[in-house]
């Protein structure tokens, strides 16, 4: 009998990669998706088969983290061996605009799932993974951050995730549930949401390079992050549920870059260099040298500007993780480095922009 996994947030970046991984491992995979007016399954369409297909191994159920009854019903129906709770309002800046909803989905959502496991009598069957975050460290109290570093969240998102972190540990200690937190630092990929800074940069500069847009508007260029690759990190999520005992782990690369460096690396991979000029909110990035033919950019063209709208009411300036525990106890090493990650994202977005450009160029003008 194959193992059965339930993934909340299966339509998101991590959910899609994790579903892929679990299917490869022979799992029957169930996912919770929200009802939306347009399809929201683009990231998993390549692995989805109609449920009437006798070989189907991936099944989707409607539900919402803010709706206990839907979660209870799905857990009761699926009787999962493993639950990966990846669903969340995951955008830090948006959490300042929607703090109450963020708390409902990101803090109470995990509680609803844990209660479903408990009340359905699944405590000794179902293992639970909670998508915890480096945002718990917020205003950092120690560098690098490890499992023992004190938390100091800096956003409604971080505070909601703090509740989720502790309620997961509480159900482990109170009821003996196999439940653990992966404290994951930022991880990116070509499937990353378009409003997170890395994807905004790769997509934006790709569109600039193909003449579809003039400029990318960003916020704090000095923020430092420990960026890893989502494909490496979902493997860790699975590994954490395969141990003898549940434990919480930091997952990070141990390497840090600024947003500004991410811009420079992206431009380099696309075939041009960035020079910075101006100061503070007037700082801009312009094209220095152009090293590749066929790009719609010229030396001197300003392609990055600051828009203070993207500054946050309280910022997390710097994050750098120490994943020694995961390395030593789980034998985990990230395989994809910073340059490779940037190259993959840049190539993916360049190809999409080139396609859009060719459609414009071949559309007859009337």
What's the rounded Cα separation, in Å, for the pair 57 and 145? 38
* Out of 19, 197, 252, 320, the residue judged to bind ligand GDR by CB under 6 A: 197
Among ligand GDR, ligand NDP, none, the one that 11 touches (CB under a kind-dependent 5 to 8 A) is ligand NDP
Among ligand NDP, ligand GDR, none, the one that 130 touches (CB under a kind-dependent 5 to 8 A) is none
Helix 197-209 to helix 338-362 angle (10° resolution) is 40
State the residue number with the nearest CB to ligand NDP.
Answer: 12
- Applying CB under 6 A, the span of 30-38, 118-126, 258-266, 350-358 interacting with ligand NDP comes to 30-38
Site map (CB under 6 A) of ligand GDR, residues 76-115, x = contact: --------------x-xx----------------------
In the complex, minimum distance from the CB of residue 86 to ligand GDR, in angstroms, rounded to a whole number: 10
What's the rounded Cα separation, in Å, for the pair 132 and 136? 8
Q: Tell me, yes or no, if 126 is annotated catalytic.
A: no
16 binds ligand GDR (CB under 6 A): no
In sequence order, the β-bridge partners of residue 62 are: 33
Q: Tell me, yes or no, if 171 is annotated catalytic.
A: no
What's the rounded Cα separation, in Å, for the pair 187 and 166? 22
What's the rounded Cα separation, in Å, for the pair 165 and 188? 22
315 binds ligand GDR (CB under 6 A): yes
What's the rounded Cα separation, in Å, for the pair 336 and 100? 36
Q: Tell me, yes or no, if 157 is annotated catalytic.
A: yes
- Applying CB under 6 A, the span of 73-81, 193-201, 279-287, 356-364 interacting with ligand GDR comes to 193-201
Among 151, 270, 268, smallest CA distance to 207 is for: 270
Exposure letters 104-127 (e unless 16+ CB within 10 A, then b): bbbbbbbbbbbbbbeeeebbeebb
Phi, psi of 70 (to 5 degrees): -65, -40
* Out of 15, 31, 219, 285, the residue judged to bind ligand GDR by CB under 6 A: 219
Size, binding site for ligand NDP by CB under 6 A: 26
Query: Of the residues 8, 102, 133, 202, which is catalytic?
Result: 133
Helix (H) or strand (E) holding 30: strand 28-33
Among 130, 127, 148, 149, smallest CA distance to 138 is for: 149
* Out of 29, 65, 236, 326, the residue judged to bind ligand NDP by CB under 6 A: 65
Inter-residue contact 29 to 7 (CB < 8 Å): yes
What's the rounded Cα separation, in Å, for the pair 362 and 312? 42
274 binds ligand NDP (CB under 6 A): no
133 binds ligand NDP (CB under 6 A): yes
Site map (CB under 6 A) of ligand NDP, residues 185-224, x = contact: -xx-----x-------------------------------
234 binds ligand GDR (CB under 6 A): no
Chain centroid, CA 295 distance in Å: 30
Site for ligand NDP in 81-110 (CB under 6 A): 86-90, 105
In the complex, minimum distance from the CB of residue 232 to ligand NDP, in angstroms, rounded to a whole number: 12
**3 state DSSP class of 332:** coil
133 binds ligand GDR (CB under 6 A): yes
In the complex, minimum distance from the CB of residue 364 to ligand GDR, in angstroms, rounded to a whole number: 36
218 binds ligand GDR (CB under 6 A): yes
DSSP secondary structure code for residue 183 in this structure: E
Site for ligand GDR in 251-270 (CB under 6 A): 259
Cα–Cα separations (whole angstroms), residue 179 to 9, 115, 128: 18, 12, 5
What's the rounded Cα separation, in Å, for the pair 230 and 237? 11
Q: Which residues are catalytic?
A: 133, 135, 157
The residue ranges that bind ligand GDR (CB under 6 A) are: 90, 92-93, 133-135, 185-186, 195-198, 200, 218-220, 223, 225, 259, 310, 312, 315-316
Residues that bind ligand NDP (CB under 6 A): 8-9, 11-15, 32, 34, 36, 40, 64-66, 86-90, 105, 131, 133, 184, 186-187, 193
């Amino acid at each position: 009998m194959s193992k059965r996994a339930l993934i909340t947030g299966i339509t998101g970046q991590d959910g899609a990669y994790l579903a892929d991984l679990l299917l490869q491992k022979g799992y029957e995979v169930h996912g919770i998706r929200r009802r939306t007016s347009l399809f929201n399954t683009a990231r998993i369409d390549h692995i989805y088969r109609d449920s009437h297909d006798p070989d189907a191994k991936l099944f989707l159920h409607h539900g919402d983290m803010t709706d206990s009854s839907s979660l209870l019903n799905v857990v009761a129906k699926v009787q999962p061996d493993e639950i990966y709770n990846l669903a969340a309002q995951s955008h830090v800046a948006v959490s300042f605009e929607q703090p109450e909803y963020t708390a409902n989905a990101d803090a109470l959502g995990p509680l609803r799932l844990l209660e479903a496991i408990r009340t359905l009598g699944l405590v000794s069957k179902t293992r639970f993974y909670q998508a915890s975050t480096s945002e718990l460290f917020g205003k950092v109290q120690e560098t690098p951050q490890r499992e023992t570093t004190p938390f100091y969240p800096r956003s409604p998102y971080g505070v909601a995730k703090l509740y989720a972190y502790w309620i997961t540990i509480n159900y482990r200690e109170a009821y003996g549930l196999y439940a653990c937190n992966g404290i994951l630092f930022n991880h990116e990929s070509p499937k990353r949401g378009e409003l997170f800074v890395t994807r905004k940069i790769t997509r934006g500069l790709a569109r600039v390079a193909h003449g579809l847009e003039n400029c990318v508007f960003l916020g704090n260029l000095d923020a430092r992050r420990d960026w890893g690759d989502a494909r490496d990190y979902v493997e860790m999520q699975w590994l954490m549920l395969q141990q003898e005992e549940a434990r919480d782990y930091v997952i990070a690369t141990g390497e840090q870059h600024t947003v500004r460096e991410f811009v420079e690396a992206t431009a380099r991979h696309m075939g041009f260099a960035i020079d910075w000029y101006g100061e503070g909110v007037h700082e801009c990035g312009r094209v220095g040298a152009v090293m590749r033919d066929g790009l719609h950019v010229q030396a001197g063209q300003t392609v990055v500007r600051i828009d203070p709208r993207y500054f946050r009411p309280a910022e997390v300036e710097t994050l750098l993780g120490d994943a020694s525990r995961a390395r030593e106890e789980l034998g985990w090493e990230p395989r994809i480095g910073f340059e490779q990650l940037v190259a993959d994202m840049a190539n993916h977005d360049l190809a999409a922009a080139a396609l859009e450009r060719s459609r414009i160029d071949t559309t007859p003008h009337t």
